[in-house]
Structure formats: structure tokens, C-alpha cells
């Protein structure tokens, strides 16, 4: 694939992504927060994030791909539990990284 085709694909991805974001900004304030549409949009957004997270856990790349699946799942479980308990994303991420690092250190 040549450079021109790659730039075309990148441009199409940008247009596809930002057109939906622009539409969200334009109509987002007009949708009541407790409406069926708002609940559906929220559910789809959470499902997309969950899908990306599972993709990262199940099919990682780079150095993480050399780690055990159980370590990645344990780190994800720790993040979810800490997030539910503390309601703080930064603390949950720190806990997941800590659990994963401990599992890596104990494996040596």
C-alpha cells in the first residue's frame, strides 16, 4: 500500500470519527439525560469501551503479549473492583498496574 492510500485511510478515519463527535456536540444538549436515547447512547459507549478493554487483555501487543493471560485478567479484575469501591479511575488504574507488576515480579 502506498503513502497516498494510507493518508486517504487516515483522513477517512478522522472524518468518520469527528463527524460523530460534532453531531454529539450539536444535539447532545437537546437530548434529556433520562430519555431512552440517552440511556441507549450511554450503553453503546460503555460497550465500546468494554470491547476495547477486552481486546487489550485478550490480544495484547508488545511486551504485554509475553505475559500470562491470568495476570492480565487479574489486573483487570482488580481495576474493576477498585473502581466500583472507590469511584476513582486514577486509583483503579494504579491498582491494576500494581497488581500486574506484582504478578510479573513474582514470576521471576
Q: Residues 43, 85: one domain?
A: no
Q: Is residue 97 within 8 Å of 75, Cβ to Cβ?
A: yes
Q: Is residue 11 within 8 Å of 17, Cβ to Cβ?
A: no
pLDDT surpasses 80 at 108: no
Q: Residues 26, 41: one domain?
A: no
For residues 85-90, average pLDDT: 91
Half-sphere exposure of 6 (CA within 13 A, CB side): 3
Q: Residues 48, 90: one domain?
A: no
Total domains present in the chain: 3
pLDDT tens string 25-67? 888 888 888 899 889 988 998 899 889 888 989 999 988 888 8
Please state, rounded to an integer, the average pLDDT across all residues of the chain: 89
Sequence-ordered alpha helix ranges (H) in the chain: 3-28, 36-58, 69-86, 89-107
The domain in which residue 87 lies consists of: 61-108
At 49 the pLDDT is 87
Q: Is residue 71 within 8 Å of 65, Cβ to Cβ?
A: no
Amino acid at each position: 500500500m502506498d503513502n497516498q492510500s494510507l493518508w486517504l485511510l487516515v483522513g477517512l478515519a478522522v472524518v468518520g470519527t469527528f463527524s460523530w463527535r460534532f453531531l454529539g456536540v450539536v444535539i447532545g444538549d437537546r437530548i434529556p439525560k433520562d430519555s431512552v436515547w440517552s440511556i441507549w447512547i450511554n450503553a453503546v459507549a460503555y460497550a465500546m469501551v468494554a470491547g476495547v478493554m477486552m481486546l487489550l487483555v485478550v490480544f495484547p501487543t508488545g511486551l504485554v503479549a509475553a505475559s500470562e493471560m491470568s495476570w492480565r485478567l487479574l489486573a483487570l479484575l482488580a481495576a474493576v473492583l477498585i473502581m466500583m469501591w472507590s469511584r476513582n479511575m486514577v486509583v483503579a488504574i494504579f491498582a491494576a498496574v500494581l497488581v500486574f507488576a506484582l504478578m510479573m515480579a513474582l514470576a521471576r
